[in-house]
Structure 1
């Protein structure tokens, strides 16, 4: 219950700046440490105020930490930062992670993670080995870098490993795949805390995609179009401009001058999703933006996002976001329960 109350306070802006601690260990990947600071540090309220305070800490106390590059990094804080934090993020340390097994944490690290159990916990890449070794992932779904998923599954049989996704959100414990998926996970947490508009602004400033669903494939067979092959990019751009209209697979394939079968295969190779999965995700993204920035009825949001009917919007929104459109708007715009409950009459605000 305490966590639930804190979550609601965080989401509705009733608390001070949210506190994020990044736990670094010898062998840390500098990019993973930097991306946490870049993304959470760049989140701003509509009035321009910082929404997060980020601190770098080490279990051994303040000091210099070796990285997997040819330079060290400084950790200004010790394990007390883990008790201070609302969110604790564990980046990878390949020299330590691959050797971990159940209960295999050093005594100081085990004590530190035990003190952090009040917080939302997240890992990037093989940082998931740390959470699993502490028993925090037992009975949960989790992921890690695709090169390490087989070893992870063998080492931690109590964890349900999903090797094919970018990140897994299990509520107060989240795990992500490699470094780029760490960007997706951080944006997902920012979106969960403060809504799509804030997360999109952070992504825009950082020049990264604003939203990749956690269920998207880690390893995309053809991320760059090979010479002589036609990309599906133009069809995707066209579809984004016509989200409010009926968009069929045949139309998208025609835009790419391909047969439906070839287009579908190429689309999955380039994005990791089927064309209709991708289209639904983009429409849910559009619905989020409208719910945060307008007072449109649920039927109008459905029309402008391309779902056609309020019932269709609700079905896909709940499946993709986990809450109804009315509950989403109430969370991120402070709309009262009465407005959220008017969805049956076509109102969400």
Structure 2
């Protein structure tokens, strides 16, 4: 027998959005299931089930996607190194970052960056990125 799709109570949706917005704003900070569930005001297990039912992905995957999207922005538009990008978007391990980036984007972070360097796209200097806090913004 097939499992019935879970329905999420409508009054929980604003709380789930609050947690998702927290992940969007603070993607580079250490975030965990407990913290996101606390932002939504529910238990972590209930949060995990309801978040996945609402957004079609687990909170961990959602956060990874935000981090990798931001990494793509930085690799495309700046001359910041892959290692610096890894740290700027909230990863502490270059191996984990590279593996997740490759899984989601289809190429390594180095290959992705090299593609835009080869195209001659203008690049924002890394010193400017760090000095003016561009690494904290949603999009460059």
How do 1:1-349 residues align onto structure 2 when only pairs under 5 Å count? Answer: 226=10, 228-230=11-13, 231-334=15-118
Secondary structure, in 3 states, of the residue corresponding to 1:318?
Answer: helix
Return the alpha-carbon distance in structure 2 between the equivalents of residues 297 and 273 of structure 1: 30
Unaligned runs of 5+ in 2: 121-140
Checking the alignment, whether the CA contact within 8 Å between 1:329 and 1:335 is kept in structure 2 is no
Checking the alignment, whether the CA contact within 8 Å between 1:284 and 1:305 is kept in structure 2 is yes
Return the alpha-carbon distance in structure 2 between the equivalents of residues 328 and 225 of structure 1: 41
For normalisation by structure 2, the TM-score amounts to 0.74
Return the alpha-carbon distance in structure 1 between the equivalents of residues 12 and 58 of structure 2: 18
- 1:225 positional shift: 5.8
Secondary structure, in 3 states, of the residue corresponding to 2:12?
Answer: coil
Secondary structure, in 3 states, of the residue corresponding to 1:232?
Answer: helix
Return the alpha-carbon distance in structure 1 between the equivalents of residues 23 and 34 of structure 2: 12
Secondary structure, in 3 states, of the residue corresponding to 1:229?
Answer: helix
- Name segments (4+ residues, structure 1) moved above 4 Å: none
Aligned CA RMSD, in angstroms, stands at 2.1
Count of residues in correspondence between the two structures: 115
Return the alpha-carbon distance in structure 2 between the equivalents of residues 225 and 304 of structure 1: 36
Return the alpha-carbon distance in structure 2 between the equivalents of residues 313 and 225 of structure 1: 35
Secondary structure, in 3 states, of the residue corresponding to 2:57?
Answer: coil
- 1:229 positional shift: 2.8
Greater strand percent: which structure?
1
Unaligned runs of 5+ in 1: 1-219, 337-349
Return the alpha-carbon distance in structure 2 between the equivalents of residues 253 and 333 of structure 1: 40
Checking the alignment, whether the CA contact within 8 Å between 1:302 and 1:312 is kept in structure 2 is no
Return the alpha-carbon distance in structure 1 between the equivalents of residues 78 and 57 of structure 2: 30
Greater helix percent: which structure?
2
- 1:333 positional shift: 3.1
Change (3 A) 1:330 1:263: same
User: Based on CA coordinates, which of the two structures has the bigger radius of gyration?
Assistant: 1
